[in-house]
Structure 1
């Protein structure tokens, strides 16, 4: 279930908008310059290689590369295991992305499996987009946001970049992310 929830940035207890309708979500986000698309889901293995995921979605990936000019694309997976090493790695990854930040580049993500929440902080509002399998979200460069993969991340995501540097975050230092419902709270 894809979900958009909008709050005033000063009042996370007040929900301004809440919808699961993909067309409403796309329309609301388009007004912010954010692209949202739904792609058919293709089954991939439990711990797929980047090549397997990119091949499974080749036509869609190639269309995005062509229309947006991306030069580097990969896929990664977070697949839970019950080891202390994985638990620690997942907690550290989650903590990094939970901090509000921007990027000098667009942040395009496609969820081939699983889910995660992107929180966009725009015009004194916070837009929480729970992306699930089949969702592509394109966050424009310099948009203030954060991402929550949950306390037990389980997803496969395709990432698109305009250069080989990959993910580079410019952190704002704001504690705002701590004020809003987490992935775990939104999906409970």
Structure 2
């Protein structure tokens, strides 16, 4: 289950309804899918064949299509990152800078853990959303954020897009952001 840490105060928010309520006020969509429906052999697998990625998409087809229908997403895929991923540290450096997009950044975590760092309203500032299997988040277009892995450095997520070719990170320079928190 997702947990939030507000960086300015150190406050932690947990529990599905509390997380959803907080993120709703920050205009961030949060949902929870049943990760246990994923076949056991894929629940802790972080190097995936195309067939295994297709199996993940098939397993969550109903949830994906429901979310896509409500939010206008037209295409989706699966991303798997772990220490076995070539050039993982270089990839993470690209992820780990505050940026925005011209469409939502959507992740449905199916295995592992990850964290979104999001710029909230002025009274909140930056906050971390720690995600695990079953958590689904949609950071709205133009909202400053970045995504990275947690200490286990393993994640599998379904990504949903309106247009994959239009999904480009736009750097967001913010002197108030402090990386090492």
1:69 maps to which of 72, 89, 97:
72
Unmatched runs of 5 consecutive residues or more in structure 2: none
Q: Give me the whole-angstrom Cα distance separating, in 2, the residues matched to 1:55 and 1:97.
A: 27
1:25 equivalent to 2:19? Answer yes
Structure 1 stretches of 4+ moved >6 Å: none
- Matched length: 169
Unmatched runs of 5 consecutive residues or more in structure 1: 9-13, 181-188
The 1:38–1:133 alpha-carbon spacing in structure 2 relative to 1, beyond 3 Å, is same
Deviation at 1:152, TM superposition (A): 5.4
Q: Give me the whole-angstrom Cα distance separating, in 2, the residues matched to 1:115 and 1:167.
A: 23
Describe the SS at the equivalent of 1:59.
helix
Map of 1:142 onto structure 2? 142
Q: Give me the whole-angstrom Cα distance separating, in 2, the residues matched to 1:5 and 1:33.
A: 17
1:101 maps to which of 99, 102, 114:
99
Map of 1:7 onto structure 2? 7
Q: Could you say what the CA RMSD is over the residues aligned between the two structures, in angstroms? A: 1.9
Tell me the TM-score normalised to structure 1 length: 0.82
Tell me the TM-score normalised to structure 2 length: 0.85
Native 8 Å contact 1:108 1:139 kept in 2:
yes
Q: Give me the whole-angstrom Cα distance separating, in 1, the residues matched to 2:33 and 2:141.
A: 23
The 1:113–1:177 alpha-carbon spacing in structure 2 relative to 1, beyond 3 Å, is farther
Map of 1:56 onto structure 2? 59
Native 8 Å contact 1:77 1:155 kept in 2:
yes
Native 8 Å contact 1:101 1:170 kept in 2:
yes
Map of 2:88 onto structure 1? 90
Deviation at 1:150, TM superposition (A): 3.9
